[in-house]
Structure 1
């Protein structure tokens, strides 16, 4: 690690991440910033990317392997104290962001803290905002998201600055690339959630492959569980299991999405951000609405786009391009409107002048035991403390009780999960993944 005196006269930006989708987003985001010296810290948690996933996430960026450091949580503060970055980008699920923010609170020289979500974020979720409320800037990726998160912040009484960016990994197709004839399906771990729906979706893919044996149906997967890999969300019903019996032209791929799309005739998804990658490359899509359009399916963003379609459309490969009006409001605004890096430079100048107070994470309401639970829930087996083990035993039943009550008695009305007409959720999520993956009944409350 070089000292500050050896460094070029440009901003030092460090992204801190763990899970696959957040690593991809953080690497692509800092790669778009001009005049920076970037570094990527991968914190060891149950979700940390494998070397293969890291390689896929960094594909298409200029971040070299020697600019990546794998680190334990307890080493974060000392590493940052020595490196003294100007900007830290926190890229992880809400509980991860909160845990790392507490380490930043220990620093004598505080960097500007930037947070954000790794893809489409409609609806703007309560937890996504509250976990990031102590950051100096939260990045959003469309005009629509900017309106939604600003509205949500006003309703929740959160004072937070937002910076608009384009999705950093949504890039045009290379000029030399030729159009392929693959139907690429972007698999998602939690959408649709119901096992029966996932089984039905596997059947649609089989039918699409059988309809034309001369063309491939490619199921793009994000992880290899048999090799110990995890992904951001916990998949209880895996397409790799559902499609063990399949036609020869129905295949799996672990290539980067950009690579898969270079051979695509079209992309199929329920609500994956891969749709935006495809649209950017000029690849038509189908946003499958067979299982409904709702906030829980995370696909209300496609309403009015012109790309929603049925199972019959998928089987017949009736892909479509979105209308221009929808694109301007959803992820394809004029790049000149993307002010996030201008905002960051202004915030760095303010911090250097002493005009940007630190936004510190408050102590948890449940005291030391609650704090131990928060740490254990994020770090899993990486946390070997007695307090963490005790908190796990006490907290797990309580969390599952809270989630059960939410599922049964969840609030309804404007701005809730049951309201498809709004772009925000003022109520907490009713479902949560286990973050401690080896203990499948342990969940974290939050988004």
Structure 2
């Protein structure tokens, strides 16, 4: 008697912005196709990826089933072919809205969410927005440890899964893990070796790998004066060696949206400084492509630093603006990657300490447990042993739900409830924000007067 083949587990990803589409696609593509059937739905929101951004985000994943969908059609689309699990890859407010919709499906799928990049320090908002999710995906031992501690301290129930960032799935090709010499040991940071023409070993990168790649971030740093200083640094670095390129790697072309809105684009600030050096170039190519010709990467706190380390490319984590939760660069403490503006101009790139690597994004791949935990949760759901997690309790009822939906969908929400909530909520929101700005200005003025 022939055994009935076991049905593959079906997982549907839902994502909208550039970073989340890239993250969701890579996570889904990493699941064994013999055991998992995967599909990615790109949700139409005001910040949805452009077609060009989508192509870049999907590059190299091999995903075949990718479709665009509206929120209005999402429930019907999922019900037509019920998934065992849904990966909601989006900013927190959108996760909350989509989770509420998906949780109403019958049968209810397992709800999964997570964060697509560096997630230290752990934040309460990240947990609260994902309250209804059964599994929260993180990417380092440190992240799991810090989020679990925060959840316990706030009385929030959550399960955490560990997996390497999709583009950090391989071990770093070159780190400080080499015999002690010149004062460097296996747990000490190592300055990158100078490039050796034609070399492709740890002694140097190939002759063509001479680019200084700067990974731009939309809101890090946030202040215009700091962003202008970054622009000035890029110009200085380009003029310091006209024979080598400085590549400003952008997340989006003009008019395209990003996960976070960028108030002061670096391209505009560079243009404001006068004629641009010929070797200072702008690129919207995928990060993997930009790194193909990189001598080293510079960033404040972009996850591109982890991608570079995974490929053995040295990094400078720019600490010109300090080290803080607001800059999302506390994670590099102990790595040996911090450097200042003169290090950037001189191209003094670094490799991280192996001790830091083990706790931050480069743990043993055998410790990854997303597939195992997800399979177990699906089995429990089928057996009726997985209790549905309720949304966070709050006041407002259906009107509050409509307001939250309107906030994330904007003009894509054409429901009557959304129109009513917007008519009531938008003026109130504007007044609250104006009051907050006034109070913030008053606090700044008070600090300045005290300093004087």
Where on the TM-score scale, by shorter chain, does this alignment land: which range?
Answer: 0.7 to 0.9
Aligned equivalent of 1:204, options 220, 225, 233: 233
Aligned equivalent of 1:289, options 296, 319, 322: 319
* Map of 1:380 onto structure 2: 410
Does 178-187 or 331-340 show the bigger shift?
178-187
* Map of 1:39 onto structure 2: 39
Native 8 Å contact 1:182 1:215 kept in 2: yes
Native 8 Å contact 1:141 1:167 kept in 2: yes
* Map of 2:378 onto structure 1: 348
Residue 390 (structure 1) shift? 3.9
Residue 399 (structure 1) shift? 3.8
* Map of 1:306 onto structure 2: 336
Work out which of the two has the higher radius of gyration on C-alpha atoms and give 1 or 2.
2
Which aligned pairs between 1:391-410 and structure 2 lie closer than 5 A?
391-399=421-429, 405=436
Distance 1:141 1:400, change over 3 A: farther
Alpha-carbon displacement from aligned partner over 1:197-244 (angstroms, at most 9, x marks no partner): 000100000000000011111111111233xx2010000000121122
Which aligned pairs between 1:235-250 and structure 2 lie closer than 5 A?
235-244=262-271, 245-250=275-280
Native 8 Å contact 1:186 1:221 kept in 2: yes
- Distance in 1, matches of 2:317 and 2:30, equals 28
- Distance in 2, matches of 1:129 and 1:250, equals 40
Alpha-carbon displacement from aligned partner over 1:83-133 (angstroms, at most 9, x marks no partner): 111111100001111111111122111111111001110011111111112
Which aligned pairs between 1:361-440 and structure 2 lie closer than 5 A?
361=391, 364-399=394-429, 405=436
Aligned equivalent of 2:119, options 118, 121, 142: 121
- Distance in 2, matches of 1:406 and 1:134, equals 32
Q: What value does the CA root-mean-square deviation take over the aligned residues?
A: 2.2
Q: Is 2:294 the counterpart of 1:264?
A: yes
- Distance in 2, matches of 1:33 and 1:157, equals 32
- Distance in 2, matches of 1:357 and 1:14, equals 20
Does 332-341 or 379-388 show the bigger shift?
379-388
Count of residues in correspondence between the two structures: 400
* Map of 1:78 onto structure 2: 76
Distance 1:220 1:407, change over 3 A: farther
Which aligned pairs between 1:210-221 and structure 2 lie closer than 5 A?
210-221=239-250
* Map of 1:445 onto structure 2: none
Distance 1:335 1:90, change over 3 A: same
* Map of 1:415 onto structure 2: none
* Map of 1:49 onto structure 2: 49
Aligned equivalent of 1:189, options 203, 209, 218: 218
Which aligned pairs between 1:328-343 and structure 2 lie closer than 5 A?
328-343=358-373
- Distance in 2, matches of 1:230 and 1:408, equals 30
- Distance in 2, matches of 1:85 and 1:385, equals 26
Structure 1 stretches of 5 or more lacking a match? 1-6, 410-447
Residue 362 (structure 1) shift? 5.1
